[in-house]
Chain A
């Protein structure tokens, strides 16, 4: 069969078989026992030629309501932010996207340096000393932080606030099950972790306490108070943070966090139905040698020239096998690159300005919704998300909003039975005043 990805000609095949010393390609498969050889035709969908395939895939894509054409008020961990055009131009350079893990540093300095820069940017934003080269996503990074804590403290109990993303908590449960760790969830009060309940749960068996900042409801958790409770019991303080928010909010690293994790999706990564995004993992220097995943370090070559290499690899699965700090191998390097480009494009001033616009627009939206007669709940400080209560199911409201070109917020009743008919509304810098006003009008009108 001739195909544009398959260069071997019949003449090539003939010559190659001669060199090998067999008559046919089939002879090379004779080590597969007869009884398990596959003889039929694979029931794979039929081949489409490029123009047909483009049409078919375009059609599938157009069946989805996208956030380019519809104004999205949906966040809950994945956000519609401005992506500078340069991001895609950089990550489409095939020297980056067609390479693999930089095992050969002499011909991988580009990737290594770019990720070294990424590690630096994450350290700066989180206020931590060390950041790794990326994890799958925020939630699995959080789960890995739990495993690190348990290994480091030799304790088995993970305390998680219920204001942590519900899907992240579900992921933590699965990882904890593997390691036979106990996970205890702590209730919230007025949209933030209930400190009295938290205090009761932290004891001498506690490996770590996990909170999210800003939390799932958009609220800012009282990190300084929580930090005291955690460290009094010698547990580790793990904070999951939206890195964009840290452009304006005091970073967890300045409030005593031992591990800070999160997802870089707000920086240059499209939502793409939930993945791939890009987890980050940042720690204090003390934990440097316990970090999961790859680390890039600076060094010099034999001429004293600066260069970068994969380092502290003795932590990793390809060296340490069953004793590795994690089983992670492939990470999200290309998305870490995308986030680096976005952070570089925004720069010091732009990240701050973007974070500020999120706060300001979310506050404007909340005020307009209240004016339109919509009930809001929780009165704490928040970043770019807040919670409203409506009359009737969120799903129906979202259908009405879509008809007006808007993607409505998240139905909190799915995860919090006490928050039935409550919607988590996200307002990013991408939402215009006009869109916010239309949203307030439509949601208000539905009351």
Chain B
């Protein structure tokens, strides 16, 4: 396993092919004569030349050097690494979904529009919002879309001075980044000793400049913001809007809805809660739901249902415009819809209950060996701190690397940034108690190793195909592409 897998370019030999294009069946043309000199490419791109079996072996070898949910437990906090159902993959590949063109006449894609419409309605129900758009491509894209709508709303009210978006210090980095891209200034509100937004600090930062507060609830510490209705009142009284980052929706389906908590805009990560899958980093899908007063600003086109047909409405004069070509990541939306229909309303509720049960169970099993910064019950994820182990010279990074030796993907580490030596664990509902127990046993063993045999942790991983990589040199002298020696 530790053998280096060559780059596909290094396997390349001229004349090898793994394609089978039919011979040209129309009269040939001399392209050197047809193409003006400036457009006639002279340097050939150095693409690989391999046989089909070489290609399959190459990518199979690479896949073996990769850990996915199907390979083993993947408790990466805030990413909801749950099981990716196989039926979803099959359905998304039906020719009537995979091989339809976005610009076909609407009457030829009614099945696709019906699926989208149904998905929107289901997401309205889960979130308690009034309308949903499927256009945004991912969570961060949804955040930016939502903020652009909030800006359009304020400006339509003649309110051009709301330049600030408030984000908690525990927020995901995309929140402040999206605020910037949407033309706002990000302002931080502090968390209190319970890990929740500090209401006094919120009152301090809220004023007539406030466009919105972005909040994840439960937050990135896995804690429910109990004072959410008070926060909503503070923001709304100041004329601002409340934005819900749906990264953690997996905790509360059927238990609470952002729409009922006072949120005006919501995005969901369909690749998290609704089994996207994650794809090694994407594609995702980031639908956005809004309350009725923001409907006019939804990105266009908006899907509407008429008597017997679905169609896109482009006549939306107050719309923020397009955020993406066509209608969003349809292929991911098909998977999410398939998942929702697999679970049904009771199933979704059970999903959140089990996700929360699993997280609380792990938290209690681990709380004595580590530092538990927040005592209360968590929702679908929790954080522990490796402060104790740090004193012994073992950092959270070391413990994460040691977990690799046992075949686990480590939790999210060093996030949220307001917890020292943070480890953020999200088991999800699709893991069995046995898996949770085995993982906890290993983590407890590592905590013990930190005391008895710290080197084994500090020098981990020991069993992976490669050791710890020199990231400093990678950044100082970047090599971002292969170049023939």
Q: In whole Å, how far is B190's beta carbon from the nearest beta carbon of chain A?
A: 15
A145 to B118, alpha carbons, bound, how many Å? 35
Is B365 a contact partner of A19 (Cβ separation < 8 A)?
yes
Given A276-B137, A345-B52, 17 new contacts (CB under 8 A): A33-B228, A42-B253, A58-B96, A60-B111, A63-B96, A77-B325, A88-B93, A96-B63, A98-B74, A102-B280, A140-B137, A167-B322, A167-B326, A270-B99, A273-B101, A347-B48, A347-B49
A interface footprint on B365-390 (CB within 8 Å = 1, 0 otherwise): 10000000000110100000000000
Which residues does chain A contribute within 8 Å of B199, judged by CB atoms? none
A278 to B358, alpha carbons, bound, how many Å? 36
Known: A13-B357, A402-B108. A381 touches B39 (CB 8 A): yes
Which residues does chain B contribute within 8 Å of A200, judged by CB atoms? none
Q: Is B27 an interface residue (CB 8 A)?
A: yes
Q: Is B25 an interface residue (CB 8 A)?
A: yes
A-B contact pairs, 20 of them (CB 8 A): A1-B346, A20-B360, A28-B379, A32-B256, A38-B256, A53-B342, A58-B96, A119-B480, A120-B7, A140-B325, A167-B325, A275-B330, A276-B285, A297-B480, A301-B468, A301-B470, A318-B415, A329-B139, A345-B18, A360-B28
Instruction: State which residues 1-32 of B face A: CB under 8 Å.
Output: 2, 4-5, 7-9, 12, 16-22, 24-29, 31
A295 to B143, alpha carbons, bound, how many Å? 22
A165 to B99, alpha carbons, bound, how many Å? 21
B109: nearest chain-A partner, CB-CB: A64
A interface footprint on B201-228 (CB within 8 Å = 1, 0 otherwise): 0000000000000000000000110101
Known: A95-B68, A344-B8. A329 touches B478 (CB 8 A): no
User: How many residues from A make CB contacts under 8 Å with B?
Assistant: 211
Which residues does chain B contribute within 8 Å of A334, judged by CB atoms? 279-283
Is B350 a contact partner of A6 (Cβ separation < 8 A)?
yes
Known: A43-B345, A99-B278, A255-B38. A275 touches B470 (CB 8 A): no
Set A136, A179, A306, A352: member contacting B4, Cβ < 8 A: A306
Known: A60-B115, A120-B9, A330-B282. A344 touches B48 (CB 8 A): yes
Which residues does chain A contribute within 8 Å of B357, judged by CB atoms? 8, 13, 16-17, 20, 25, 28
Q: Is A417 an interface residue (CB 8 A)?
A: no
Is B67 a contact partner of A407 (Cβ separation < 8 A)?
no
Is B81 a contact partner of A346 (Cβ separation < 8 A)?
no
Q: In whole Å, how far is A146's beta carbon from the nearest beta carbon of chain B?
A: 12
A-B interface contact total, Cβ < 8 Å: 693
Which residues does chain B contribute within 8 Å of A307, judged by CB atoms? 466, 469
Which residues does chain A contribute within 8 Å of B21, judged by CB atoms? 82, 346, 350, 353-354, 357, 429
B483: nearest chain-A partner, CB-CB: A120
Q: In whole Å, how far is B10's beta carbon from the nearest beta carbon of chain A?
A: 10
Q: Is A228 an interface residue (CB 8 A)?
A: no
Q: In whole Å, how far is B215's beta carbon from the nearest beta carbon of chain A?
A: 14
Q: Is B313 an interface residue (CB 8 A)?
A: no
Q: Is A343 an interface residue (CB 8 A)?
A: yes
Q: In whole Å, how far is B229's beta carbon from the nearest beta carbon of chain A?
A: 6
Which residues does chain B contribute within 8 Å of A28, judged by CB atoms? 356-357, 360, 377, 379
Which residues does chain B contribute within 8 Å of A121, judged by CB atoms? 45, 47
Q: Is B138 an interface residue (CB 8 A)?
A: yes
Q: In whole Å, how far is A336's beta carbon from the nearest beta carbon of chain B?
A: 8
Is A42 a contact partner of B348 (Cβ separation < 8 A)?
yes
Is A321 a contact partner of B177 (Cβ separation < 8 A)?
yes
| 7 interchain residue pairs of minimum CB distance | A47-B344, A274-B326, A61-B96, A63-B111, A274-B102, A334-B279, A110-B66
Is A20 a contact partner of B361 (Cβ separation < 8 A)?
yes
A179 to B361, alpha carbons, bound, how many Å? 46
Set A13, A22, A224, A288: member contacting B478, Cβ < 8 A: A288
Which residues does chain A contribute within 8 Å of B55, judged by CB atoms? 86, 341, 344-345
Known: A63-B96, A347-B16. A48 touches B341 (CB 8 A): yes
Q: In whole Å, how far is B116's beta carbon from the nearest beta carbon of chain A?
A: 9
Is B103 a contact partner of A92 (Cβ separation < 8 A)?
no
Interface hit among A122-130, A191-199, A202-210, A370-378: A122-130
Is B174 a contact partner of A171 (Cβ separation < 8 A)?
no
Q: Is B178 an interface residue (CB 8 A)?
A: yes
A22 to B357, alpha carbons, bound, how many Å? 11
Which residues does chain A contribute within 8 Å of B111, judged by CB atoms? 59-64
Is B480 a contact partner of A46 (Cβ separation < 8 A)?
no
Q: Is A298 an interface residue (CB 8 A)?
A: yes
A331 to B126, alpha carbons, bound, how many Å? 25
Is A31 a contact partner of B226 (Cβ separation < 8 A)?
yes
Q: Is A12 an interface residue (CB 8 A)?
A: yes
B470: nearest chain-A partner, CB-CB: A299
Is B354 a contact partner of A8 (Cβ separation < 8 A)?
yes
Which residues does chain A contribute within 8 Å of B63, judged by CB atoms? 90, 93, 95-96, 110
Interface hit among B83-91, B233-241, B288-296, B443-451: B83-91
Which residues does chain B contribute within 8 Å of A348, judged by CB atoms? 44-49
Q: Is B453 an interface residue (CB 8 A)?
A: no
Known: A46-B344, A429-B21. A109 touches B478 (CB 8 A): no
Is A275 a contact partner of B280 (Cβ separation < 8 A)?
no
Which residues does chain A contribute within 8 Å of B68, judged by CB atoms? 94-99
Is A275 a contact partner of B329 (Cβ separation < 8 A)?
yes
Is A250 a contact partner of B47 (Cβ separation < 8 A)?
no
Which residues does chain B contribute within 8 Å of A107, judged by CB atoms? 65-67, 404, 409, 464
B471: nearest chain-A partner, CB-CB: A309
Known: A60-B115, A61-B96, A94-B68. A363 touches B47 (CB 8 A): no
Is B34 a contact partner of A381 (Cβ separation < 8 A)?
yes
Which residues does chain A contribute within 8 Å of B257, judged by CB atoms? 38
A169 to B354, alpha carbons, bound, how many Å? 45
A273 to B331, alpha carbons, bound, how many Å? 8
Set A41, A59, A360: member contacting B26, Cβ < 8 A: A360
Q: In whole Å, how far is B285's beta carbon from the nearest beta carbon of chain A?
A: 8
Is A322 a contact partner of B176 (Cβ separation < 8 A)?
yes
Known: A104-B409, A307-B466. A56 touches B38 (CB 8 A): no
Is A317 a contact partner of B100 (Cβ separation < 8 A)?
no
Is A8 a contact partner of B429 (Cβ separation < 8 A)?
yes
Q: Which of A296, A312, A334 has the most CB of B within 10 A?
A: A334
Interface hit among A68-76, A152-160, A229-237, A384-392: A68-76
Is A273 a contact partner of B480 (Cβ separation < 8 A)?
no
A314 to B224, alpha carbons, bound, how many Å? 31
Is A272 a contact partner of B148 (Cβ separation < 8 A)?
no
Q: Which of B59, B257, B326, B347 has the most CB of A within 10 A?
A: B59
Which residues does chain A contribute within 8 Å of B125, judged by CB atoms? 42-44
A181: nearest chain-B partner, CB-CB: B183
Is A347 a contact partner of B97 (Cβ separation < 8 A)?
no
Q: Which of B41, B52, B280, B376 has the most CB of A within 10 A?
A: B280
Q: Is B351 an interface residue (CB 8 A)?
A: yes
A52 to B475, alpha carbons, bound, how many Å? 52
A134: nearest chain-B partner, CB-CB: B282
Which residues does chain B contribute within 8 Å of A238, judged by CB atoms? none
Known: A120-B482, A322-B177, A346-B19. A113 touches B7 (CB 8 A): yes
Is B323 a contact partner of A171 (Cβ separation < 8 A)?
yes
Q: Is B192 an interface residue (CB 8 A)?
A: no
Which residues does chain A contribute within 8 Å of B243, judged by CB atoms? none
A301: nearest chain-B partner, CB-CB: B467
Instruction: State which residues 143-183 of A face B: CB under 8 Å.
Output: 147, 165, 167-168, 170-171, 173-175, 177-180
Is A116 a contact partner of B482 (Cβ separation < 8 A)?
yes
Is B356 a contact partner of A25 (Cβ separation < 8 A)?
yes
B interface footprint on A317-345 (CB within 8 Å = 1, 0 otherwise): 11111111011111111110100010111
